[in-house]
Amino acid sequence: MPVDPAGSDGQPVTDRRAGPPVPRCAHPPAFDSWRDVRRRVISLLDEPPPLLVVTDFDGTLAPITLDPLATRIVPAARRALRVLARLSADRPDRLRLVVLSGRAALDVAGRVRVGRLEYLGNHGLEGGRLPWRARAEHLVVHIDPSLQPFVEPAERLGSAVAERLGRPDWLFVETKGPSVAFHFRQAPDAAEAVRRLDAAIAAIGDASGRQAFERFEGRKVIEFRPPAAGGKGAALERLLERERPESVLLLGDDRSDAEAFRVLARERAQRGLTGLAIAVHGATETPPEVVEAADMLLPAPLDAAAVLSALASAAARRFA
């Protein structure tokens, strides 16, 4: 059954079991009504198949937490993904399903724990498909061999910056093969954390291998990736080329998701692809470009779980 996206007072609710979410802003943007979102999502099943569903994880299926290691998926989202994954495996001519995350593929697979599902990690730079009933740690991850030379410099950069800063409690360094991310969500002053990170990176200089990477910024994270490797926009382009869908549903919450939203908008305009990009708000620092690039806006991950639940229920009835 779909999850009711609102509490008894009609206001969006959050799943407190998933860890402490970041407080929302006092004056959030205008959200689309649940009925309108549900109608438009389910209407994608009326389009010629296949439908490609691509969803982010952090901030979309799981509330943002101060500690990235504490992030937990909304239980209703996992249940919906299990149904969609089964339908996708049984009817690949009708439905394709992908989780596309900035986390390493093994990391996000371990947090979602749904088989028969493709996990693309590191903004699409790596990925693999988890078989049915397989343990998440057994996911076989494939990385483009051309990115292998960036693995050691990424580890060196992450270690050098942490050492330069004295490994403060507010810093979480996430090394992800050919890229490295510096999370500062736990910093008491985000602006000061960015200043200190920039100073440390500048002081380390080219000896750290910094010059080999391109810099990207997200929600309280600074990331260094191989140049021209692309992000989620490039990942979606590869998915569209491989899967050849007739319609697409995207869900996301950060700048990298906005890249994919813009790719979808371009494909709709240029070749008539049917698609819907849904942004998930849920926190104070949701970048404005995410809202601007999306077609519809939901308040929080619990609402995204409700959307996937509604799609799963409708698809199960139609594919029967």
Q: Looking at the domain covering 145-225, what would its CATH class be?
A: alpha beta
Ranges of CATH 3.40.50.1000 domains, the chain: 30-144+230-319
For the stretch 154-189, pLDDT in tens is 999 999 999 999 999 999 999 998 999 999 989 999
Ranges of CATH 3.30.70.1020 domains, the chain: 145-225
**How many C-beta atoms lie closer than 10 Å to residue 107's C-beta?**
22
Superfamily the domain 30-144+230-319 falls into: HAD superfamily/HAD-like (3.40.50.1000)
For the stretch 266-289, pLDDT in tens is 999 999 999 999 999 976 667 889
pLDDT at 8: 29
For the stretch 76-98, pLDDT in tens is 999 999 999 999 999 999 999 99
Cα 222 from Cα 219, distance rounded (Å):
8
In this model, does residue 18 exceed pLDDT 50? no
pLDDT at 30: 85
The token pair that represents 170 in the structure block = 């507010």
Cα 144 from Cα 110, distance rounded (Å):
22
CA 60 to each of CA 3, 55, 202, 209, 282: distance values in angstroms, whole numbers, following the listed order: 15, 7, 33, 32, 8
In this model, does residue 23 exceed pLDDT 50? no
In this model, does residue 3 exceed pLDDT 50? no
Specify the pTM. Answer: 0.84
The rounded mean pLDDT for the chain is: 88
pLDDT at 105: 96
Q: Strand 247-252 to strand 274-280: parallel, antiparallel, or no bridges (unpaired)? A: parallel
pLDDT at 227: 87
In this model, does residue 25 exceed pLDDT 90? no
